Chain A
Amino acid sequence: MADQPLIYARGLVKRFGEFTAVDGIDLDVAPGEAFGFLGPNGAGKSSTMRMIGCVSTPTAGELRILGMDAVHDGPRIRARLGVCPQLDNLDPDLTVRENLVTYARYFGLSRAESRRRADELLEFVQLGDRAGGKVEPLSGGMKRRLTIARAMVNEPDLVLLDEPTTGLDPQARHLLWERLFRLKQRGTTLVLTTHYMDEAEQLCDRLVVMDGGRIVAEGSPRSLIATYSTAEVVELRFPGMPEAGPRFAAALEGVGKRVDPLPDRVLVYVDDGDAALAEIQRRGLEPSSVLVRRSTLEDVFLHLTGRTLVD
């Protein structure tokens, strides 16, 4: 089992009628890894996650989870997965604790064991003091934490998190990241989708960028930045933007590896920000504001998936 990938996919396809949501992807996720799917809306992330969770049947291709066939061994695989779905589906009329105990029973756990794990997990997600309260009045962040606790109730080998922090405030996100990081330290394999770049950089050892149902890039956050971006980015604003933008962009050609003119500013991808600034000055260009920053996954993401808005 040690050498076997937890998730193994070859040529995985999911079609809904005419629409191809996932268009032939290959995946290998190793035990203990934190693996991320990054991509704009409609890229095929959630469809892929649902196939991995054995709730949606692949249209074509091979998919093995925990060494078993995703199509034929669904119940046996699901017994060892923890799933945190994009939409909360907690029971609003049950108490916080009853939600966990009820869910634990779905996995065949004894009543005593279900209660023990419920109490332990409520402490882990810092909801111990809400155990007897209803779910309804909980904040978004608390509900998410409860959903994650629920996903842990069967001590899963693999935890699937579909956009775990979407819609949460910064405090709630950081608390959630910290809890997920603890899970990772315990050796739990995490697979998550996100469109937050900071989330991907915080949590993922390795990630794939999906676009239009395909994997367009794969690697660690650092290696993706090294491959698809530069060490630093110079952000320049000029008087007379956006009309003057293309003219300045042309004048900046050759300063760095790439020039990206946006409506409000021009981005220059460079290896050395200070050297680039000196060159800009030498060319006699006079920007109204200058910012030199490190490259992030967001630069990789926008480079790979484009800046067009996807709804």
Chain B
Amino acid sequence: MAVTHGVHPTIAVLERHLTLYRRLWQASVFSSFVLPVLFLVSIGIGVGGYVGRVQGVDYLSWIVPGVLASTAFQIAVGESTYSVLGDFKWVRAYHAMRATPVGPADMVRGHLLYLVFRVTIAVVAFLVVVVFFGGLHSPWALVTPLVCALLTVSVAAPVTAFAATIDHDSYFSLLFRFVVIPSTLFAGVFFPVEQLTAVLRPLAYASPLWHAVELCRAATLGTAPAWPVPVHVGYLLVWAVAGLFLAVRAFRRKLED
């Protein structure tokens, strides 16, 4: 019985995801690294040529933080749907972990740490590209990976809870159709939410993505965000903490009997 406790179970779960990523990373190169740059070029430069300046800056610089945060958002949501359901239903990896000292909280935290890693490399790669387009205007841009990491937990945790609750993957198309796509379109990524009618604006305010976009935009442009920074950060933290609680509870229930 030489069981030494060298590695924390949460880290062991993270390692499993990283080992899998090392085998399967090619599949996500396009969506994580290429697509954001295509958005930047086609909309930032292409559409931007017609738009001119928005809120006092060129359009490309204006959408850089939006594309940045929405990339984090897409990865966080996308990697918390089929892969979580699959690890319960088809691979049964979580059942395998359940037979070891790894607990539901370790499983959730390991998964989220992995997503923070995935988002961070995507976001940093994008920032490096953006530098060559002259899209960053303040050293505060360096904090955007932290904002994106927080956004990742804020959205991945509740989506993970959702994925661990359902039994069939058809629910995911509802999630993408009614939550992810509207969020991306109307949360201040491509145009200021002030353009929305007053009736729709609260929906943007409710989306964690809008708060992250505002923080990232303030950072890359060196301006003040729409609301005070603690309010934006606090709102994201509420989603993160509530999501974590729900995800751990969903995992526990799913693995109970």
Contact = CB atoms under 8 A, between A and B. Distances in A.
A155 B2 contact: yes
A106 B15 CA distance: 10
Nearest to B100: A106
A75 B103 contact: yes
A193 B156 CA distance: 39
Contacts of B92: 87, 89
Contacts of B24: 93
Interface in B96-119: 96-103
Interface of A is mostly: loop
Interface stretch (A78-86, A165-173, A244-252, A268-276): A78-86
B101 A91 contact: no
B20 A106 contact: no
B12 A105 contact: yes
B91 A91 contact: yes
B20 A91 contact: yes
Interface in A83-131: 83, 85, 87, 89-94, 98, 102-103, 105-110, 113
Contacts of A90: 96
Nearest to B11: A105
Contacts of A56: 256-257
B253 interface: no
A302 interface: no
Contact of A108 (B12, B95, B257): B12
A108 B4 contact: yes
Contact count band on B: 20 to 34
B93 A85 contact: no
Interface in B233-257: 255-257
Given A89-B96, A155-B2, A75 B7 contact: no
B23 interface: yes
Interface string B51-80: 000000000000000000000000000000
B99 A94 contact: no
Given A79-B3, A94-B23, A108-B12, 5 more contacts: A55-B99, A80-B3, A89-B93, A91-B91, A106-B101
A81 B99 contact: yes
Interface of A: 16, 50, 53, 55-57, 75-76, 78-81, 83, 85, 87, 89-94, 98, 102-103, 105-110, 113, 154-155, 157
Given A105-B12, A106-B9, A94 B97 contact: no
Contacts of B31: none
A78 B9 CA distance: 13
Given A98-B19, A106-B12, A91 B6 contact: no
B256 A57 contact: yes
A80 B95 CA distance: 17
Given A79-B101, A93-B20, A157 B4 contact: no
B199 interface: no
Nearest to B99: A83
Contact of B95 (A57, A85, A103, A157): A85
A39 B255 CA distance: 25
Contact of A110 (B4, B98, B102, B103): B4
B6 A110 contact: yes
A107 B255 CA distance: 19
Contacts of A80: 1, 3
Interface of B: 1-9, 12-13, 15-16, 19-20, 23-24, 91-93, 95-103, 255-257
Contacts of A75: 101, 103
16 contacts: A56-B257, A75-B101, A75-B103, A78-B101, A85-B95, A91-B91, A92-B91, A102-B15, A105-B7, A107-B3, A107-B101, A108-B7, A108-B8, A108-B101, A109-B3, A109-B7
Contacts of A93: 20, 23-24
B3 A55 contact: no
> 5 closest Cβ contacts across the A-B interface?
A89-B92, A105-B12, A106-B100, A83-B99, A108-B5
B257 A89 contact: no
Nearest to B255: A55
A276 B99 CA distance: 53
A102 B16 contact: yes
A207 B8 CA distance: 38
A56 B9 CA distance: 20
A89 B91 contact: yes
A76 B6 CA distance: 15
B160 to A, nearest CB: 19
A106 B93 CA distance: 12
Nearest to A105: B12
A108 B92 CA distance: 21
Nearest to B103: A75
Contacts of B2: 113, 155
A102 B19 contact: yes
Contacts of B23: 93-94
B25 to A, nearest CB: 12
A94 B19 contact: yes
Best-surrounded residue of B4, B8, B92, B98 (most CB of chain A within 10 A): B98
Nearest to A89: B92
Nearest to A98: B19
B14 to A, nearest CB: 10
Nearest to B2: A155
